[in-house]
Structure 1
Amino acid sequence: MSKRKKWLIVFGVCMLLVVAGGVGYAMHLYDKTEETVTESQKKISRDHNTSELRVEEVDPVEDNVSVLFIGVDNSEIRNEQTSRSDALILATFNKESSSVKLLSIPRDSYVYVPEVDRYTKITHAHAYGGAEATIETVENFLDVPVDYYAEMNFNGFVDVVDALGGIKYDVPYEFSEFDSNDKRNGVHLNAGYQTLNGEEALALARTRKYDNDIERGKRQQAILKTIFDKATSTASVFKLGEVIDAIGSNMTTNMTFTDMKNFLSYGLDENVAIDKMILDGSGGYMDDGLWYFQVSEDSKRNIRAELRNHLDMREYADSNDRHEKAKNDI
């Protein structure tokens, strides 16, 4: 056998091993993800697992749907039963335009919480009734259906960023913040473009000492997009197993593994358009001595109309009867 043929055989065998290894790794990730999502399942109690603002169940493959991302302020040393939502981002997905709208809801927004039948900060809804009370509050506040939710605590966020080897981000100012173990000034960052580990990224997402809830919401959206971009880059392929482990017991969701797979089209589309949205308003102290963010009614009305239109749901004139609103969307 000639030397050239020998090299071709060796090269061919090596390529087969690489392909086989890649296929094996992909199958491992697939099984690992399915197991993680299954263990993270936590349904919410509503008829047919469908929002009251919907007439029938939705499917991410066929329909435009929404997902509420809830970041909660509990960790290994915090009481999970009374944890508040530290970040709320409502995302709507439109199949036809391959677009996503991300709305950050300020944690101190003054809203009606159906779970306790009174007005308070939207962050308190989670302490009163977990993800279910938070979803009900968001739907009541915006008149936009929440089809799915994904909730993650501090530990999950920190571990995911660390599993990716950190993220690069332009820190807007020097600051000090609590870390995930509630250590005062546990994180200190200087201004400028730098690599952030999990604790540092969390501190930047949480801090609001030097600006306000609106800027905080913008930062959280930008940080999440940075994490998403790195997680879906080719450089992170062999880190995905660690990312899945990091999510593990730190996440709860009502999405099935099939539901999650159906969102892949957005992640794989290089031309997907992501529109970041912010609620306008003003803050101030009320009679109870607490500071609240009062969302502008005009801003809420415009945001509501834009999100409902993105979900291909018609606007309505009367907001008194949810069931009638849903029927109008048939």
Structure 2
Amino acid sequence: MSRRKKWTLIIGIPLLIIIVGVGSYAGYLYNKTENMVSNSQEKTGRENETSELRNEAVNPVEDNVSVLFIGVDNSEFRNEKQSRSDALILATFNKQNSSVKLLSIPRDSYVYVPEVDRYTKINHAHFFGGPKATIETVENFLHVPVDYYAKMNFEGFIDVVNTLDGITYDVPYEIWESDSEDDKNSIHLMPGEQHLNGEEALALARTRKYDSDVARGKRQQQILKSIANKVTSASSVFKLGETIDAIGDNLTTSLSFDDMKDFLSYGLDESISIETVNLDGSGGYMEDGLWYYQIDEESKQNVQADLRGHLNLKENIQTSDYAQEEEGNSTY
């Protein structure tokens, strides 16, 4: 055998094995994700699965769309559909700018809940009617269409972070917090940049006794960004299978597998920008003896205009009803 052929075999065979291996792993992940999404999919029950604030259905490939992320606490109510939402983040995706905006909605925000026809905390909407009632409440509150939703419980959050071998985060202050089993003060973190496991990351995301609901929302946004960065890092490539398992066991979503594939362009775009948006306001007790967060009206209107503009919707809206002039499939 010639020297050249020997080197061809020495270099080529291992390279071929790697290529086949990566291809097989990619196919494995593809099938695994497809099965996970299929098992996790749960429609909202809306007509044609389309927001009333849209004239027609949207497609993530062609349109600017939104996804409502719902974090639920099952420690108090084992029936997930009768649990309160502990975190609400509305994400808007703009195809033209390859950008994402994340709005964290304080869980104690005093809003109108259509499901029960009265004002109460926004996190109660999920208890009264699951994702559908939560979506209707958010849409009524912001007049921004919610095209899809994805709901995950605390166990899923913990499992994902642990599967990724934790995340690095700059803890702003010393905290004592309960863990996911409500074991009081079982989580103790000191200020500074450090490595957090799933329970620690959850405790930091949940705590709200050291600052405010707005600050809590900002922490949640930053923690989600840290998780996203870890998932897309080279070091996590061979942990994706475990991550999919961790998500699949704890996820409910209206997104189909094809829908999720349509979002792939955002993840592959190195120039993508992620911006956080927040609602200003103040908290206090009301006549019923409960503490509520009152959203500042000017801040609310600014956020409405910001998110609607990001979705290429008309900025001028009527808050009394949803009747508006038609403008393509992007308005109501």
TM-score scaled by length of structure 2: 0.96
Pairwise mapping of residues 150-229 of structure 1 onto structure 2 (< 5 A)?
150-229=150-229
Aligned equivalent of 1:280: 280
Aligned equivalent of 2:10: 10
Aligned 8 A contact 1:316 1:325 in 2: no
Cα displacement (A) at 1:75: 5.1
Please give the alpha-carbon distance, in whole angstroms, between the structure 2 residues aligned to 1:326 and 1:54: 11
Please give the alpha-carbon distance, in whole angstroms, between the structure 2 residues aligned to 1:326 and 1:280: 30
**Deviation per CA, 1:206-234, whole angstroms, max 9, x where unpaired?**
00111110100000000000000110111
326 and 71 in structure 1: CA distance in 2 versus 1, 3 angstrom threshold? farther
Bigger mean CA deviation after superposition, 301-310 or 220-229: 301-310
Pairwise mapping of residues 137-156 of structure 1 onto structure 2 (< 5 A)?
137-156=137-156
Taking every aligned residue pair, what percent have the same amino acid on both sides?
66
Please give the alpha-carbon distance, in whole angstroms, between the structure 2 residues aligned to 1:194 and 1:251: 28
Residue 327 in 1 paired to residue 312 in 2?
no
- The code of the aligned residue for 1:95 comes to K
Aligned equivalent of 2:54: 54
Cα displacement (A) at 1:7: 3.4
Please give the alpha-carbon distance, in whole angstroms, between the structure 2 residues aligned to 1:277 and 1:292: 20
Pairwise mapping of residues 249-264 of structure 1 onto structure 2 (< 5 A)?
249-264=249-264
201 and 317 in structure 1: CA distance in 2 versus 1, 3 angstrom threshold? closer
Please give the alpha-carbon distance, in whole angstroms, between the structure 1 residues aligned to 2:7 and 2:162: 41
Please give the alpha-carbon distance, in whole angstroms, between the structure 2 residues aligned to 1:14 and 1:209: 56
49 and 77 in structure 1: CA distance in 2 versus 1, 3 angstrom threshold? closer
Please give the alpha-carbon distance, in whole angstroms, between the structure 1 residues aligned to 2:206 and 2:225: 16
SS in 1 for 2:249: helix
**Deviation per CA, 1:291-318, whole angstroms, max 9, x where unpaired?**
1100011111111011111111112342
SS in 2 for 1:327: coil
**Deviation per CA, 1:104-155, whole angstroms, max 9, x where unpaired?**
0000000000111110100111111111110000000000000000000000
Cα displacement (A) at 1:93: 0.5
Which structure 2 residue ranges, 5 or more long, are not aligned? Answer: none
Bigger mean CA deviation after superposition, 182-191 or 193-202: 182-191
Please give the alpha-carbon distance, in whole angstroms, between the structure 2 residues aligned to 1:4 and 1:185: 67
Aligned equivalent of 1:300: 300
Aligned equivalent of 2:72: 72
- The code of the aligned residue for 1:72 comes to V
**Deviation per CA, 1:166-219, whole angstroms, max 9, x where unpaired?**
001111111111111111112111111111011110000000111110100000
Give the RMSD, CA atoms, in angstroms.
1.4
Bigger mean CA deviation after superposition, 194-203 or 310-319: 310-319
Aligned equivalent of 1:82: 82
Please give the alpha-carbon distance, in whole angstroms, between the structure 1 residues aligned to 2:68 and 2:250: 16
Cα displacement (A) at 1:4: 5.4
58 and 26 in structure 1: CA distance in 2 versus 1, 3 angstrom threshold? same
- The code of the aligned residue for 2:113 comes to V
TM-score scaled by length of structure 1: 0.97
Aligned 8 A contact 1:150 1:254 in 2: yes
Cα displacement (A) at 1:82: 2.4
238 and 318 in structure 1: CA distance in 2 versus 1, 3 angstrom threshold? same
Aligned 8 A contact 1:53 1:326 in 2: no
Please give the alpha-carbon distance, in whole angstroms, between the structure 1 residues aligned to 2:279 and 2:97: 23
- The code of the aligned residue for 1:289 comes to G
Aligned 8 A contact 1:54 1:326 in 2: no
10 and 266 in structure 1: CA distance in 2 versus 1, 3 angstrom threshold? same
Aligned 8 A contact 2:77 2:83 in 1: no
Aligned 8 A contact 1:51 1:147 in 2: yes
Aligned equivalent of 2:132: 132
Please give the alpha-carbon distance, in whole angstroms, between the structure 2 residues aligned to 1:318 and 1:283: 27
Aligned 8 A contact 1:55 1:326 in 2: no
Please give the alpha-carbon distance, in whole angstroms, between the structure 2 residues aligned to 1:221 and 1:286: 29
Aligned 8 A contact 2:81 2:126 in 1: no
Instruction: State the number of aligned residues.
Output: 329
